[in-house]
Chain A
């Protein structure tokens, strides 16, 4: 059985490692082969970018060599896929190689699309890339006071990031002793301050206690860079001195070019995690079109289901389990407190008060991630 994983982020790496351990006897007996193709030889811990934006982590702390994270039975190549030929069960890569498969896992992830909004790329800070996070920190260090606006594109990776960055901004300016010189205004696309109702119920009085202003039903439409004004599709506008953007995301260009899904999101069965119309193609993480958070956590839980099912197909000819929609998200509530949200398709998140131990657990997890992605945790 030839298993091909395309994408070396959280989802693809966990699928490959988990599978390699489950199929160790079959790999030794040459009855199964796992190949991982990635566009990069590096693996980035993306949640760390928020800390880089506030000077709490250095960029080099976010990276490991992808090869160092992989089980020995996995064949790894840095060679991005350019063509998916699903009807022939094969892909073609940038180097010209052709890889045939019996089962394909697509884990290509997502990308920021700041350019979708006129002026946003030039006029806003964002921490969704290494370069952006470093630039944002330098801007924050030089900021002496004025109006800071947070705007949120739809859809976006890490749905908890808008409230996390807002709390972090409040604590950062407080730490520098200039909070009284800064107006922070949070703008959110729907009619409450977070998509998870319990997060909105928790965060609203926290915002009010911290003096953070907010406006809901604000979908960013345009940034007037020269006059420093951000405008919404709903018709309102706000003049800022610093604009922080959670940018809109799309799936990867290769998915769109191969017509696998509009805006790069692949239509996926929410329980089996197979691509619609292709039972031997699995989709994991941000790449799916599922109405599930685009987070490493969702990718992690999906990856475990996919690995278990591919292993059981190899061993007994049938999948054995389903994805239940599980997501677990830490929520940093500033520099020294955190809480979390855990939910699935049937159970809504029940939020607890933010506390210091949960923050230190999150700080520990920032290191423990490297065991998660190896498929050990």
Chain B
């Protein structure tokens, strides 16, 4: 839920990166963290297992700049991708303003993408949101790998409502900021509607 503080002149919005296990959600955040000036971002909090799999969530506050005299702060979250962490995923979607679905472009992960997208729709619904109405971006990650599905086929299978589709290689930063920009833009446009 967007939170606007007139006293400190701040807008705070919540963006959640969703997707199947090992699709690169944390890598997106890590890249943003590594390439942003320290004064524009807070700590990257990672609640991960010993093997670096996200256990509960990753979190990073990011300040983008000023709009109409208000500082815009985006709180970026990832969910744990593994199927059995569904209860945690639901919790993290509470109060969400925008969602990025990170799809794994590899052929063998197609079923996992579809399952995770279905799970996203279901979990949004359980929190009272509708994927068709919420700011939303589809990121096709790992475009540098050999065994990938063509963009058109991925979009045909995963695109839900004409949302922006961004090709990415999160590990090297390709498409990471384009994705963030696409979703942030939609969130701020929603604010204009009130």
Partners in one complex: no
